[in-house]
Amino acid sequence: MKMCRAGFLIVAIMLFLVNQPLAKAQSSSGSGTSTQSPSQTQTPPQSAPPSSSSSSNVQPGLTSYQRPSEGKKLRNFAFDAFGPYAFIGSAATAGIQQADTAGSSHNPAGIPPDWGQGWDSYGARFGSDFGINLVTQTARYTMAQILHEDTIYYRCECSGIFARTKHALISTVTARRGDDGHRVISFSAIAAPYAGTEAAALLWFPNRYDAMDGFRMGNYNLLIQGGLNLALEFIYGGPHTLLSHHHVPVLSNATGSNPGN
């Protein structure tokens, strides 16, 4: 039960990070539309020559966000499931798990101490972690396709370590939707880490593991996905990095970034 509460707490914190900047953006936009004086509202409309300021009437993001094609989705899935982060992350996690289980009958991350020590045991843990990530990414992209979400990670248009870190963590539980790429809470992004660990607990872990163990490990997997997003933000963004060069006003408002930063 403690791990269940911890999992809900992790998701609640990330959702709070999402809702806070969105609420600020909505309040600022609402206050900007309520300051017109009566004289301004009674002034008849006048035609004006086209200028660059007329673009402010266009729905945000329509001219900058480009929904990925099916080919781009497939390439990004291959990168997330079989790319360098999948191998490096699995190798590092397996090493940590092997150290945690050395001389201990209990492992907080749920990795079976039954597998023992040595290179063969490390290989089993590496394969298990790689499989968990493969199921996680497959579930994320499959559910996103069904729900018409874009779960590809896009680097922040902002600057500064704190702002970019917040963007990476928010992206762990959100996705883009629609032609303007507006941010939404993503069931695909939240559920996929738990799908990966449930598969491990029920398919290749020892028989004493059950669905509750899978959920408990899913909490750690959700944190790992946040760490992968940090790597995508600060190290290398993957094959979709070029798309992030386009400024998306909706997402920048949500993350508190400015196009001039």
Please count the structural domains in the chain: 1
Residue 107 structural domain: 61-255
Q: What is the pLDDT of residues 108-150, one digit of tens each?
A: 555 788 898 899 999 999 999 999 999 999 999 999 999 999 9
Mean pLDDT value across residues 217-239: 93
State whether residue 171 is helix, strand or coil: coil
* Residue 28 falls inside a structural domain: no
Cβ–Cβ under 8 Å, residues 216 and 96: no
**Model-level pTM greater than 0.75?**
no
CA distances from 27 to 32, 34, 40, 85, 253 (A): 9, 11, 22, 39, 11
* Residue 21 falls inside a structural domain: no
Task: For residue 183, give the H/E element and its range.
Answer: strand 182-185
Q: What is the pLDDT of residues 14-24, one digit of tens each?
A: 555 555 554 44
* Residue 31 falls inside a structural domain: no
* Residue 46 falls inside a structural domain: no
Beta bridge partners of 174: 185
* Residue 50 falls inside a structural domain: no
132 φ, ψ to 5°?
-60, -45
Q: What is the pLDDT of residues 65-105, one digit of tens each?
A: 789 999 999 999 999 999 999 999 999 999 998 888 765 55
Read out DSSP for 108-148? TT---GGG-SSHHHHHHHHHHHHHHHHHHHHHHHHHHHHHT
* Residue 2 falls inside a structural domain: no
* Residue 248 falls inside a structural domain: yes
Q: Is the pLDDT of residue 158 over 90?
A: no
Mean pLDDT of the chain: 76
* Residue 7 falls inside a structural domain: no
Q: What is the pLDDT of residues 10-55, one digit of tens each?
A: 555 555 555 555 444 444 444 444 444 444 444 444 444 443 333 3
- Could you give the percent of the chain with pLDDT greater than 90? 52
Cβ–Cβ under 8 Å, residues 21 and 253: yes
Instruction: Compute the distance between CA of residue 225 and CA of residue 221 in angstroms, rounded to an integer.
Output: 6
